């Protein structure tokens, strides 16, 4: 293992190559794979920290039936029996699978085959419904097939890159850094379209902070401008497309002037003009988009409004040009290839034509073929809630956190007769499982994933399977066999599944579907093992660049792309007097989704250690909110609590809450319970980026900090959050009760645990409480401090004691109950550079001692020199420090 194992990062759709080397003692060293075309050796903060996520803390290591450890045989028998019985009694549509872009292509393939070909229902949907469904629907409307025409090289070769609804700097960091490098080299112009001022917008040439949901109008305006300015590629439009004049008529009618667009989008006319003129004049233009476009009640229309502008200018599939939907999850694209969405069948084959369904049926030799689309995610959970779906198997996703109207989803999971969950760890969703199946995690499993540019690469194991964990493909096949479908699920390994998947892509294809990896149908096991990252389609006849859709030849019935006439529609729910703020949600720089993995890594948690709602200064003033206040946020669906950050990055009337905070990391801080389940009519994707809320100040009367080695779940507190640190956890507690009640609550919480060496202190006024426990060696095991708001001492010292595990000296013991270090201890402050663990105070210090640029800070501290995602934050710290010095 000295050279390490080449594998692929399990986080975002950039799909970076990773070299993992297990070390004696259980740790794993991680570096970027210099030979992987997606990242050429670079990794972002999350990828760099992968070695800190492979421990077995919190892992599911054995199957469980109703909370009790069980054997695989018992668990699998029960799953198979309950699914078979339910199908026999209530029909195939009474069961469902909810799967995930975390699954490998091989896992996905067998899950899809089992449900659609053998159980006989298309009730298999994936968390990609919340993610890519509008792009898929938009691609299919325009191109006839779900095709992403471009590749990453295009970002190096473009002169204009429009990033819309995409916080690329944080969510596709390696692509973003690649774009910045290209800009250095060729002066690429970058336009960011996002209602929020994001880290991505910090680096751009033009930021259009449009009103939420007004993207169709903006791009309709662009189409009308392209026509007015003579930028239409008439020859391409005539030869390769249809529907142009209708789309143009509709666009021109609603966006007849810049003034119309400006007032409709809440933008300055001059900024719109700048964008339109730049786009019209720049042949090599790319429009990159993701969730600000997809996660919308009109996401599919947004996608087509963008594609229309590229078709109109013939800027598609050629170097440095094209619409580019970037995928979110490591295998979002692979899921689309196998057909893991309820309204697709398999291998880019749909349910529309019965001969297509017959074809797949013949190929699978399927006894009971699903013939129509199944339930999409939101409807699937509704059906689980009202008893139509009676057996549900969730694999690799955490819907109790990530679905909109998550409170309703939890209720559905509770009421559903039979819930199976395959995961690698306990989550908010596993709490509702009747059967829990321990899946193999990244580093243990083997298969392929496909990234945003259609590049397939291998995830390879470099660690043994822990406990009883098994790979997902195998668990699914084991259940299929027990349901009586052994012949079709006798796969011996992922390579065999991959070959069948490749064969299906080519089966009676005759060039109808561009997704064709038939040349890999007979790949030998050892070649599958050696597989180097590869773009599809394979073979790429006469198209060595691997771009698609360049010279027309669209996979529609007449070979022409379709313009879609799209109108600007409002958001699903408008703000009103009762709920005056539009809540947007999305990602933080260093967290992955529901934090099941990244939430355990101290340095990934330290940049944004608490759930925070960012709110515009105007709204904060109106609601009487200040920085650091606790806010109660409520929508018509649910509520959350989070710390307030007043920020001019937010447009007046809007706020932003991260999507990440599950019940394992905070009391009630998730965006899921607030979000609306209203979906796009074409894609079924919910409007996760927009819900009207009320934000109110919660009067906090006491605060507490608990520093502990233990993994606890506080109960009874109005609000708590926690963060992993070296050697344990730090909990922040607070409440609206009187301080003495707060102390009572905190003590009761501690009383639940045995403490031999607890020392306690309460001040005379009953406002301050301190407790600390030492272990047998006299090292700090736990400390709890309660004080009125704003009066807790900094926690750095206690945290350092927890991490050091050193027996405390007499001075330290005496200081313990004050919570303050007996000797001055400089704090590094909030971590800015997660790659090298450099805090805000260190950066400010380096500026004070002479560093004047981001590069100089990098030279002195290394901060910002790895993934680069923190560079814009470093620049702000430098600017602020210099401003202060000048005052
Ligand atoms: N750090 C990190 N990276 C990730 C992930 C993660 O969890 N953490 N997850 C991965 C996954 S699965 C995905 S899907 C991607 C998502 O990647 P992105 O789509 O880039 O991320 P989001 O933060 O969800 O949303 C993008 C932006 O859309 C903006 N937006 C909201 N409403 C509108 C609107 O009406 N119009 C426009 N134009 N913009 C709007 C938001 O303000 C936000 O900045 O990230 C991937 N990468
Ligand atoms: N409000 C709001 N909600 C959102 C979004 C938003 O922007 N705002 N974004 C949406 C988007 S784009 C997405 S993609 C979803 C993501 O939402 P989820 O899919 O719910 O998020 P994850 O935390 O990635 O969940 C993956 C689960 O799979 C487990 N897991 C990891 N590897 C494996 C494996 O190999 N096998 C198995 N069986 N399990 C594994 C992890 O422990 C984790 O519990 O959230 C959506 N929800
Ligand atoms: S950009 Fe970061 S999270 Fe995404 S694949 Fe690369 S290393 Fe992983
Ligand atoms: Mo996603």
Write the DSSP string, 182-245.
HHHHH--EEEEE-SS--HHHHT-SEEE-PPTT-HHHHHHHHHHHHHHTT---HHHHHHHEE-HH
How many angstroms is it from 171 CA to the middle of ligand 4? Answer: 10
* Residue identifier of the C-alpha nearest atom 17 of ligand 1: 171
Ligand 3 atom with the smallest distance to the CA of 38 is: 6
Backbone φ and ψ for 781, nearest 5 degrees, come out as: -105, -30
Closest CA to 53 of 601, 578, 456, 464: 601
User: What letter does residue 824 receive in the DSSP assignment?
Assistant: -
* Residue identifier of the C-alpha nearest atom 46 of ligand 2: 402
Which pLDDT score is estimated for 228? 96
Residue 203 in tokens: 């680096």
- Greatest Cα pair distance, the chain, in angstroms, is 86
Instruction: Count CB-CB contacts under 10 A for residue 467.
Output: 12
* Residue identifier of the C-alpha nearest atom 6 of ligand 2: 586
* Residue identifier of the C-alpha nearest atom 47 of ligand 2: 402
Question: In testing the pocket of ligand 2, which one of 100, 407, 466 has its CB within 8 Å of the most ligand atoms?
Answer: 100
Residue 119 in tokens: 């159980």
Q: How far is CA 131 from CA 333, 380, 592, in A?
A: 11, 16, 14
Residue 112 makes CB contacts below 8 A (sequence gap 6+) with: 124, 338, 339, 340, 346
Cβ–ligand 1 distance for 100 under 6 Å, the answer no
* Residue identifier of the C-alpha nearest atom 46 of ligand 1: 328
User: What letter does residue 794 receive in the DSSP assignment?
Assistant: P
How many angstroms is it from 102 CA to the middle of ligand 2? Answer: 7
Q: Which residues surround ligand 4, an ion (CB under 5 A)?
A: 131, 328
Residue 244 makes CB contacts below 8 A (sequence gap 6+) with: 237, 311, 312, 563
C-beta of residue 468 within 8 angstroms of C-beta of residue 76: no
Closest CA to 783 of 766, 811, 763, 808: 808
Mean pLDDT by 10 residues, the chain (887 residues): 85 98 91 96 96 93 98 98 98 98 98 98 98 98 96 96 98 97 97 97 96 98 98 97 98 95 98 98 98 98 98 96 97 96 97 96 96 98 98 98 98 98 97 98 97 97 97 98 97 98 95 92 96 83 72 90 97 96 97 95 91 97 96 98 97 97 96 98 98 97 95 92 95 94 89 74 88 91 93 90 92 86 82 90 91 92 90 89 78
C-beta of residue 341 within 8 angstroms of C-beta of residue 129: yes
Cβ–ligand 2 distance for 427 under 6 Å, the answer yes
- Secondary structure, 3-state, 46-110: HHHHHHHHCCCCCECCCCEECCEECCHHHHHHHHHHHHHHHHHHHCHHHEEEEECCCCCHHHHHH
Q: At what angle do helices 494-506 and 354-364 cross, to 10 degrees?
A: 150
Length of the chain: 887
Instruction: Report the distance separating Cα 732 and Cα 641, nearest Å.
Output: 13
* Residue identifier of the C-alpha nearest atom 12 of ligand 2: 131
Question: In testing the pocket of ligand 2, which one of 442, 593, 596, 686 has its CB within 8 Å of the most ligand atoms?
Answer: 593
Backbone φ and ψ for 686, nearest 5 degrees, come out as: -75, 155
The alpha carbon of 869 is separated from its chain's Cα centroid by a whole number of angstroms, namely 17
- What proportions of the chain, in percent to the nearest 5, are helix, strand and coil? 35, 20, 45
Instruction: Report the distance separating Cα 819 and Cα 808, nearest Å.
Output: 13
Cβ–ligand 1 distance for 689 under 6 Å, the answer yes
Rg (Cα) of the chain, in Å, rounded?
27
Instruction: Report the distance separating Cα 419 and Cα 24, nearest Å.
Output: 39
Instruction: Report the distance separating Cα 798 and Cα 58, nearest Å.
Output: 24
Residue 728 in tokens: 């344990």
Closest ligand (CA of 685): 2
**Which residues have CB under 6 Å of ligand 3?**
9, 11-12, 14-16, 39, 43-44, 46-47, 173-174
How many angstroms is it from 623 CA to the middle of ligand 4? Answer: 32
Residue 215 in tokens: 């993207």
HSE-CB for 102 with a 13 A CA cutoff: 25
How many angstroms is it from 460 CA to the middle of ligand 1? Answer: 28
Closest CA to 289 of 339, 216, 237, 183: 216
Which pLDDT score is estimated for 1? 43
Closest ligand (CA of 48): 3
Ligand 2 atom with the smallest distance to the CA of 401 is: 20
Which pLDDT score is estimated for 749? 85
* Residue identifier of the C-alpha nearest atom 31 of ligand 1: 292
How many angstroms is it from 397 CA to the middle of ligand 2? Answer: 4
* Residue identifier of the C-alpha nearest atom 14 of ligand 2: 131
Residue 445 in tokens: 């499993």
Question: In testing the pocket of ligand 3, which one of 14, 31, 169, 176 has its CB within 8 Å of the most ligand atoms?
Answer: 14
Backbone φ and ψ for 639, nearest 5 degrees, come out as: -140, 165
Ligand 2 atom with the smallest distance to the CA of 441 is: 35
How many angstroms is it from 832 CA to the middle of ligand 1? Answer: 20
Ligand 1 atom with the smallest distance to the CA of 290 is: 19
Ligand 2 atom with the smallest distance to the CA of 675 is: 1
Closest ligand (CA of 288): 1
For the four alpha carbons of 739, 742, 748 and 752, in that order, the dihedral sign comes to negative
E strand segments, 408-562 = 418-423, 435-438, 447-450, 455-459, 534-535, 561-562
How many angstroms is it from 172 CA to the middle of ligand 3? Answer: 7
Instruction: Count CB-CB contacts under 10 A for residue 527.
Output: 12
* Residue identifier of the C-alpha nearest atom 6 of ligand 3: 16
Cβ–ligand 1 distance for 691 under 6 Å, the answer no
C-beta of residue 200 within 8 angstroms of C-beta of residue 168: yes
Q: How far is CA 106 from CA 204, 332, 454, 472, 533, in A?
A: 39, 13, 16, 9, 16
């Amino acid at each position: 293992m000295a050279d390490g194992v080449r594998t692929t990062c399990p986080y975002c759709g950039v799909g970076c190559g990773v070299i993992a080397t297990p070390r004696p003692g259980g740790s794993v060293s991680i570096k970027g794979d210099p030979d992987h075309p997606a990242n050429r050796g670079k990794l972002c903060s999350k990828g760099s920290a992968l070695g800190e996520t492979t421990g077995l803390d919190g892992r599911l290591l054995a199957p469980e039936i109703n909370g009790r450890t069980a054997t695989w045989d018992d668990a699998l028998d029960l799953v198979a029996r309950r699914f078979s019985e339910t199908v026999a009694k209530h029909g195939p549509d009474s069961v469902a699978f909810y799967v995930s872009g975390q699954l490998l292509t091989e896992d996905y393939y067998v899950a899809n085959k089992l449900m659609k070909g053998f159980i006989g229902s298309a009730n298999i949907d994936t968390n990609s419904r919340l993610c890519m469904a509008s792009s898929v629907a938009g691609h299919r409307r325009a191109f006839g097939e779900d095709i992403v025409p471009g590749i990453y090289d295009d970002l190096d070769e473009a002169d204009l890159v429009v990033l819309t609804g995409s916080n690329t700097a944080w969510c596709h960091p390696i692509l973003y850094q690649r774009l910045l490098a290209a800009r250095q080299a060729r002066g690429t112009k970058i336009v960011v379209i996002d209602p929020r001022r994001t880290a991505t917008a910090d680096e751009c040439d033009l930021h259009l902070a449009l009103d939420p949901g007004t993207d169709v109008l903006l791009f309709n305006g662009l189409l009308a401008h392209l026509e007015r300015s003579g930028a239409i590629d008439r020859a391409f439009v005539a030869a390769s497309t249809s529907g142009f004049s209708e789309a143009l008529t509709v666009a021109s009618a609603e966006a007849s002037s810049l003034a119309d667009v400006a007032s409709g989008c809440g933008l300055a006319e001059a900024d719109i003009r700048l964008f339109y003129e730049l786009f019209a004049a720049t042949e090599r233009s790319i429009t990159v988009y993701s969730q600000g476009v997809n996660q919308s009640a009109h996401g599919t229309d947004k996608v087509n409004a963008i594609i229309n502008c590229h078709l109109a200018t013939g800027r598609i599939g050629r170097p440095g040009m094209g619409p580019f939907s970037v995928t979110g999850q490591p295998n979002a694209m692979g899921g689309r290839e196998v057909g893991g969405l309820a309204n697709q069948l398999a291998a880019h084959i749909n349910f529309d034509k019965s001969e297509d369904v017959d074809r797949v049926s013949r190929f699978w030799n399927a006894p009971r073929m699903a013939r129509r689309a199944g339930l999409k995610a939101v409807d699937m959970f509704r059906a689980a809630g009202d008893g139509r779906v009676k057996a549900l198997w969730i694999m690799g996703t955490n819907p109790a956190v990530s679905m909109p109207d998550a409170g309703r989803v939890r209720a559905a999971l509770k009421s559903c007769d039979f819930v199976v969950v395959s995961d690698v760890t306990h989550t908010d969703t596993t709490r509702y499982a009747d059967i829990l199946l321990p899946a193999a995690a990244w580093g243990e499993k083997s298969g392929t994933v496909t990234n945003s540019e259609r590049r397939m690469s291998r995830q390879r194991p470099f660690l043994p399977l822990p406990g009883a964990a098994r790979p997902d493909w195998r668990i699914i096949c084991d259940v299929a066999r027990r349901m009586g479908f052994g012949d079709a699920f006798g796969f011996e390994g992922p390579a065999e599944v991959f070959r069948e998947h490749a064969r299906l892509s080519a089966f009676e294809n005759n060039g109808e579907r561009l997704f064709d990896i038939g040349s890999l149908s007979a790949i030998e096991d050892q070649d599958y093992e050696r597989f180097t990252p590869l773009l599809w389609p394979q073979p790429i006849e006469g198209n060595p660049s691997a771009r698609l859709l360049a010279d027309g030849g669209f996979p529609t019935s007449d070979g022409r792309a379709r313009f879609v006439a799209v109108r600007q529609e409002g958001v699903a729910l408008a703000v009103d007097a009762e709920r005056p703020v539009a809540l947007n949600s999305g990602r933080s720089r260093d967290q992955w989704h529901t934090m099941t993995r990244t939430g355990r890594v101290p340095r990934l948690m330290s940049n944004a250690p608490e759930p925070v709602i960012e709110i515009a200064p105007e709204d904060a003033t109106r609601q009487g909110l200040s920085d650091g206040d606790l806010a109660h946020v409520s929508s018509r669906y649910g509520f959350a609590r989070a710390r307030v950050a007043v920020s001019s990055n937010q447009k007046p009337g809007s706020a932003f809450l991260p999507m990440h905070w599950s019940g394992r990391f905070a009391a009630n801080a998730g965006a899921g319970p607030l979000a609306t389940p209203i979906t796009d009519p074409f894609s079924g994707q919910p409007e996760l980026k927009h819900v009207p809320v009320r934000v109110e100040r919660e009067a906090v009367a006491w605060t507490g900090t608990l520093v502990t080695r233990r993994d606890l779940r506080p109960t009874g507190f109005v609000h708590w959050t926690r963060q992993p640190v070296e050697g344990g956890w730090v909990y922040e507690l607070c409440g609206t009760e009187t301080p003495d009640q707060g102390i009572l609550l905190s003590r009761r919480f501690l009383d639940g645990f045995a403490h031999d060496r607890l020392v306690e202190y309460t001040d005379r006024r009953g406002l301050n409480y301190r407790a600390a426990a030492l272990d047998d060696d006299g090292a700090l095991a736990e400390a709890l401090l309660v004080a009125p708001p704003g009066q807790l001492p900094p926690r750095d010292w206690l945290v350092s004691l927890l991490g050091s595990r050193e027996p405390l000296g007499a001075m330290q013991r005496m200081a313990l109950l004050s919570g303050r270090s007996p000797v001055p201890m400089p704090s590094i402050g909030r971590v800015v550079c997660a790659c090298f663990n450099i805090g805000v105070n260190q950066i400010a210090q380096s500026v004070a001692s002479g560093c004047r640029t981001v590069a100089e800070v990098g030279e002195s501290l290394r901060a910002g020199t790895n993934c680069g995602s923190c560079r814009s934050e470093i620049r702000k710290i430098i600017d602020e420090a210099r401003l202060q010095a000048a005052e």
